[in-house]
A and B are shown apart, each in its own frame.
Chain A
Amino acid sequence: MRWIVKRALVAVLTIYIVITITFFLIRLMPGSFIEQMIYYYMNTYGYSREEAEMEVYALYNVMPREPVWKQYIEYMLGLLRGDWGKCYSTGAPVLSSLLYFLPWTVFLLSISMTISFVIGIGLGILMAYKRGSKLDSIASTFASISQATPNFILGLLLLYLFAYYYPIFPKRGSYSVMVTPGFTLEFIGSVLYHSFLPMMAYVITSIGGWMLGMRGSAIRVLGEDYVMAAEARGLKSGRIARTYVGRNAILPLFTSFAISLGYMFGGSVFIETYFAYTGIGSTIGLALSWRDYPLIQGGFLLITSAVVFSVFIADILYGVLDPRIRVGGAYA
């Protein structure tokens, strides 16, 4: 129990630190958007400094004259109330703009991550069993290349190759403009068709890490006494691979899987931008090019909260799955 409380405290502390970092980095930026707007009103409409500030306050709910600590506290309280500020560029509330695009990203990433994890784990066990063989050597080379390739480069190459050079897949968008969104076969087909290349970019670049991680972990488990005991008892090798090796070998990968599930809510700025996919990633990408700070800040906060939350859940589950952890020791 003490252990769970400790993890929870770390989680809260992490989110607090992230909010503070982004607040001070972004709000105190010289020549920030707010400063620009104030100068804009002063120059264009001939307002005095105070009038311009009032105008900006009315529009963007940011009081530049307030002392920093007061802005800070107000921002914190606003976050707790679910008021994440307004986008500079569109004037829409940050939280609802983010939540609007969230389902697309979650859809894209949950599928690609599951595919990547399941296949990667399977291949990893296979490689561990056949270590030293031709298959292991080829698979290891592939895994290293997969690990080494940045996803944004692969995305770009896939886009170039399969959407422009051989126009098999659509170039941009999350679904065809010809179909109306709805729960129809046509729409779902269009969505899947459009998400194929971005998914491939995620799967191919992330699968290598799972393969190599699982290979190492499974080789370690294969050397354990209980596996040898199971073999000596004459259990079927399929059963040993699944229940004895597989289950125990997955444990160390659990935390990284949880972290990547958390990243599911962030998407990739690159891939979504390149494929013009309407998700969180491309929203943050646009926010970056527009210098829309509240939106950048909100996006970052959303990703961090998701990662923190999933790591917290993973830690607790890990404790349930592997009782050795709860006692403390190296992990605590």
Chain B
Amino acid sequence: MLKPTAQRPMALSKLIDALHYHIYEPLVLLSSDKRALAGLIILVVYILMAIIGPMLIPLDLTPHPEKRYLPPSWEHPLGTDFAGRDIFAQIVHGGKDVLPVAFLAGFVTVLIGTAVGIISGYIGGKLDTVITTFIDVFLTIPGFPLLLIVAVWLARSGIVINIFIIALLLSITSWAGLARSIRAQVLSLKEEAFIEAAKCLGLSKRHIVFSEIMPNLMSYIAINFMLSSVGAVYSYTGLLALGLIPYTPGNWGAMIHMAQAYVGTVTGAGCWYILAPSLTIVILQIGLVFLANGIDKIFNPRLRER
């Protein structure tokens, strides 16, 4: 919705205000914590790598048997794999496979968890009893073993496995914990004076949920988005490392799977082939955890260092 021409500068200044308030100030807050800043930088580098990297670095998968298991050099910054292909290029191309799955799974987890938690906590009553029972059941079902079974089934079922299916699959096993804590938060928020006030003012339920309760949960949701992404990277690369779901070349988990499958990896000759994807995954995970813990510290003053 464009405002009248005379008022456009006003809209612009509003935009700048919004940018200042929503982007700049949180960044300043965040950079007060070194670890959180490091996490943010790691994350940005990975995202850039996944978006721009494949355009700059071509992925050449033709085997060069004479060049197998080369140590790092200028030509091959991370060495070569069992077929003489550049590991660095594979890592870069793997990013556009792993990151979308991780963030999509994080997003779906947060979406389901928040929706279920708010519905259960805000509406209450019989529905709440049913939902909490359901949450309890899902909390106790061991997530990763269930994933293994569903993955085996998926691979056989003939369903085309794309990133959306995988993301959905990964979030099925992880939403329950978030739903439980969101519900608990909503229950305590419901008793707060400002919610009472909003009710007395006759504001709609939609307004109360989205404009009064949701903003108070935002930091919590952001942290859980990141921690769910960490879980998703673990499960996704894990499933691939076990070779249970089909993969695209360069996927980090798949590289670990291949590294193990080929003799020579663990004997030392191909150590770069195992180190490179492992460290790539670990550094991404560390970045996400640092950022999540940093956000937690900023919004949860009790954990703040004095």
Same assembly: yes
- Name A residues whose Cβ lies closer than 8 Å to a Cβ of B: 10-11, 13-14, 17-18, 21-22, 25-26, 29-32, 131-132, 136-137, 140-141, 144-145, 147-150, 152-153, 156-157, 159-160, 164-165, 212, 215-216, 219-220, 223, 259, 262-263, 266, 269-270, 274, 284-285, 288-289, 291, 296-297, 299-300, 303-304, 307-308, 311, 330, 332
Other-chain residue from B146, B153, B233, B242 in contact with A269 (beta carbon distance below 8 A) = B242
Other-chain residue from A18, A32, A149, A296 in contact with B282 (beta carbon distance below 8 A) = A149
**Most chain A CB within a 10 A radius of its CB, from B145, B150, B153, B156:** B145
Chain B residues positioned under 8 Å from A220 (CB to CB): 302
B13 within 8 A of A: no
B137 touching A17, Cβ below 8 Å? yes
Q: Mark out the residues of chain B between 169 and 199 whose CB falls within 8 Å of any chain A CB in the assembled complex.
A: 184, 187-188
- Distance in angstroms from B8 CB to nearest chain A CB is 46
Pick 5 A–B contacts, CB within 8 A, sort by A. Answer: A141-B35, A150-B281, A153-B278, A284-B148, A308-B140
B290 within 8 A of A: yes
B140 touching A30, Cβ below 8 Å? no
A interface, over-half SS: helix
B interface, over-half SS: helix
A153 to B303, CA, bound (A): 30
Given the contacts A29-B156, A148-B230, A18 and B136 also touching, CB distance less than 8 Å: no
B142 touching A26, Cβ below 8 Å? no
B263 within 8 A of A: no
Chain A residues positioned under 8 Å from B243 (CB to CB): 289
Interface stretch of the complex, out of B17-25, B51-59, B108-116, B266-274: B266-274
A13 touching B133, Cβ below 8 Å? yes
A269 to B286, CA, bound (A): 23
B285 within 8 A of A: yes
Other-chain residue from B136, B142, B145, B266 in contact with A160 (beta carbon distance below 8 A) = B266
Number of A-B contacts (CB under 8 A): 142
Chain A residues positioned under 8 Å from B242 (CB to CB): 269-270, 285, 288
Chain A residues positioned under 8 Å from B282 (CB to CB): 148-150, 153
**What would 17 more interface pairs be, CB under 8 Å, given A13-B133, A150-B233?**
A21-B146, A29-B153, A30-B156, A32-B156, A131-B306, A147-B289, A149-B285, A149-B286, A150-B234, A150-B238, A153-B278, A156-B274, A269-B242, A288-B244, A299-B145, A307-B142, A311-B139
A160 touching B149, Cβ below 8 Å? no
Chain B residues positioned under 8 Å from A266 (CB to CB): 142, 145
Chain A residues positioned under 8 Å from B184 (CB to CB): 330
- Distance in angstroms from B158 CB to nearest chain A CB is 6
B285 touching A148, Cβ below 8 Å? yes
A164 to B274, CA, bound (A): 13
Given the contacts A18-B141, A219-B303, A304-B141, A148 and B288 also touching, CB distance less than 8 Å: yes
Chain B residues positioned under 8 Å from A285 (CB to CB): 242
A214 to B62, CA, bound (A): 51
B152 within 8 A of A: yes
B237 within 8 A of A: yes
B238 touching A144, Cβ below 8 Å? no
A327 to B146, CA, bound (A): 33
Chain A residues positioned under 8 Å from B146 (CB to CB): 18, 21, 300
Chain B residues positioned under 8 Å from A263 (CB to CB): 142
Chain A residues positioned under 8 Å from B234 (CB to CB): 150
